[in-house]
Structure 1
Amino acid sequence: MKKITYFVLMLGLFVSMSCDKCLEGDRATPASFFVNVIGNYSQQNVFENETFLPTQISVVDSEGEAIPFRFIPNSNLIQLFPDTRNLTNNSLIITLSNEETSAFSEITITHDVSEKVEECYTSFTIENIQTTQHVSEVVDGIYVIKI
């Protein structure tokens, strides 16, 4: 009886030590931030007043590589997912180009990335977001940029 109890105890100890504490679904969400582009004079969102269409957005980094983004139609916001490999002095360029009206705007955004190492993953946060050529402000966590 002692041998069976000892075996069960050792088996339980082995299983508890070898189990990964990280669950399959434990992953950090991708680092991102939201941008609301408004007209300098109209004070309206440039997608809401149809100065630009969502299909007329392109986003690249300083080396010309595409940056993933998502246009959110109900709020007319752009969610950007910049690269997190470099922690400082990152930049990306949002280009809005309407060929029908010849409206064109280029917005350069600089930012830094901070990382936080968790038990199961590393999470990244975009911070120190700045636009040097355009007036911008943060409203409820959304970067409002006037063009």
Structure 2
Amino acid sequence: MKKIVSLVVVLILMLNVSCDKCEEGDRATPASFFVAIIDATTDENVFENETFLPTQIVIKDLEDKLVPFRFIPNSNLIQIFPNTQNLVDNTIELTLNNPTTLTTEEIIITNDLSAKQEECYTTYKVENIQVPNNISNVVDGIYVIKI
């Protein structure tokens, strides 16, 4: 009888203990990049000088699907989370709108992604960010775009 109970306990332990080293909470940080939009004439951030409002930002891909983003109020930056389904030639359109002044700006941003398979998840990194229709440069990892 003791052998049967011991065998059952061992079987239960084997079924409950997985060799998988991945924990349920293990997730990769989503791929993203930061953008600052600057007025080309004044060199002021367009959200700081209230040329545009953070509530009027819309970011879409070429298939007209919304691209997730986060506006960071203390630094007036936009953190963009591009779609990771396509690794190359991704294009998004960032639209700024001010309904009071009836001003609209559209900024085209292209990027590629690299994928690295980890043990429990895939990590994506945004690469080759281009802003073909605007002057832009990278300052401390932030893409500064002049409009």
- Tell whether the structures are fold-level matches, with TM greater than 0.5: yes
**Distance in 2 between the 1:19 and 1:112 partners?**
35
Counterpart position of 2:69: 69
**Distance in 2 between the 1:14 and 1:97 partners?**
59
Instruction: Give the Å deviation of 1:17.
Output: 7.2
Instruction: Give the Å deviation of 1:70.
Output: 0.7
Instruction: Give the Å deviation of 1:99.
Output: 1.7
Pairing of 1:81-92 with structure 2 (within 5 A):
81-92=81-92
Q: Does 2:111 correspond to 1:133?
A: no
Gaps of 5+ in 2: none
Residue identity (%): 61
Pairing of 1:30-49 with structure 2 (within 5 A):
30-49=30-49
**Distance in 2 between the 1:67 and 1:40 partners?**
25
**Distance in 2 between the 1:86 and 1:69 partners?**
18
Instruction: Give the Å deviation of 1:18.
Output: 2.9
Counting matched residue pairs gives: 144
Normalising by the residue count of structure 1, what TM-score does the alignment of the two structures yield?
0.88
User: Which SS does the other structure have where 1:18 is aligned?
Assistant: coil
Gaps of 5+ in 1: none
Pairing of 1:2-81 with structure 2 (within 5 A):
14=14, 18-81=18-81
**Distance in 2 between the 1:15 and 1:90 partners?**
44
**Distance in 2 between the 1:95 and 1:145 partners?**
13
**Distance in 2 between the 1:83 and 1:92 partners?**
10
Instruction: Give the Å deviation of 1:125.
Output: 0.8
Normalising by the residue count of structure 2, what TM-score does the alignment of the two structures yield?
0.88
